[in-house]
Structure 1
Amino acid sequence: MSSLARPAFDPELNTLIAGMPPFPQLTAETLKLLREFPTTPIETLLDGRAVDRREVTVSAADGFQIPLTVLTPADVRPGAPCVYWMHGGGMVAGDRFSQIDIPLEWLDELGAVVVTVDYRLAPEAGGTTLVEDCYWGLLWVADHADELGIDPARIVVAGTSAGGGLTAGVALLARDRGAPAIAAQILICPMLDHRNVTVSSRQYSGDPNVWTRENNAFGWHAVLGDLADDQVPGHISPARADDLSGLPTTFIDAGSAEVFRDEVTDYATRIWAAGGQAELHIWAGGFHGFDILFPHADISAAARQTRTQWLARTLKAHTPTAP
């Protein structure tokens, strides 16, 4: 356990997490077990929702077939917004249905088409592969906007944890390559910095209840191997990007009681310094993934509602004015 003073967990969250088994220290063996842990089936989440589901595959640059799932409201209107979702899992676990309940709320409340991508995982894949898989999926979405019934000017990229970091990387790639257009990015407790040297990363070292500095190091090493710090491109570790200008308007949040707090705060600050627009929320007493683990806690409900309200405002600003 870290000896550093640190923000305490929100009281309600503290009570809830006390009843949970400890999160394992990641190793090659525990990763196998983590990947076998059952998640909520997508069919259960879609039950009772009027949603059309479509499965597609997209070719990556190396020919790998990237699975995408398209979830469309049955009553979708032409020119709907689209949320392109990247799941969490420390770069080493999860699939395209992980944490999908978050964008499904935007499907319900905002009529958004949700597309979620099954990018390859580390350590089986590494380097730029994960973010490139996400980028190729996004290109497909933009190229098929008419077919999907979406407005290409209202495509939002979003993700949580590892997926939040990949979302930031995809936004950087789209900016640097000139396409596709992205209306906004939503970075939920994103994994942005492989260096793992912030105060918050040290504060939450060794805690068995949450995502730790040690597990963060495991995930990044799985992606990067022994690549030297100065050789890591910003598309993989977005905090390494020299230039954060020209990015889409950004929503970024984290808890005060988590490893990623300081890198999240720094990323928002650097967007502002580059002349960009970002809305930053640090939820007092929130640990990593608090609103995923305990979505009905008061602080979780507030975090989710705040994101949805921001997205509604942002999409409204991008809605074409009728003649």
Structure 2
Amino acid sequence: MKIKSLIPVFLLTLGFMACNNDDDGGNTVEVRDVAEVEAEDDAELQLYLETHFYNDEDFQTPTEGFDYKIVFDTIAGENAGRTPLADQVETMTIDFQDVPHKLYYLIVRKGDEEKGESPALGHQVITRYEGSLTNGTVFDVSNVAVPFNLPIVNGVNGFNYIFPKLKTGTGKAENPDGTITWNQDYGIGAVFVPSGLGYFNAAQSGIPAYSPLIFKVDLLTFNELDVDVVLISRTETASSPDGIPSHLEDVDGDGDPRNDDTDEDGIPNYQDADDDGDGILTEFEYDADGDGVPDDSDGDGTPDYLDPDNQIGNN
């Protein structure tokens, strides 16, 4: 099981979705009413959270050799007295097709509180993860560190939001055999995703349509991204980094760079090599004098790279 790129031509490597190794894509079924599905999904997730617990005692008093993996189990029998996940998760609300969807997330270990940092949408996270259905079926897993460019598009939108809630650890050690051991202080968490923030009606191999999803993640580290492209023709693009890290192209400051599209060309700024659409690439308008401050040549309060009326770059 791999996470595959399903990318419109101008998005390059930013589209990721979970699917089987056969890479045959999703099978779309009849589209149901979004609000109706959201209510069903939330009821299913709430029931799961009320009837399951995780191995919090293992994290509180880890024994030698503990692998720091989250394990979910049913509250029953000898586990009847365990604390339900419903008492430990936090929530946030994300819209899908104008319908608010509740996303539940569990912070098992925040990460290193002093030296650790939290990524934003627009960073590349290095993570280990496991994806499963609420019945426990695992549909995707990576026990080795893999990169994901946030925000993930054309895939599980809900997967994006757990990472900014965590912090990195204090690094890693390279072993003589070439393997890497990560210091045991990285962020660990899980996110419980309604289908509207997952694949909704697009069934994947191992994932039926309208399935709520559960992801366990380790946030090992993260990197800056600068992945803008320039459109050469209707079907051809070229990579043209604009010199602005993607996480800094959140113009409205709402934490999500996907809805910032200054020139309204359908390509958000963090993927657009010419943010204001004036024919001058952003890299030549952002900080031409090299003082570390975005240029505003006409002094109107709008930086040149976001100001189509500024023509200083043509002089």
The TM-score normalised by the length of structure 2 is 0.24
Higher strand share: 2
TM-score, reference length from structure 1: 0.24
Larger Rg, first or second structure (1 or 2) = 2
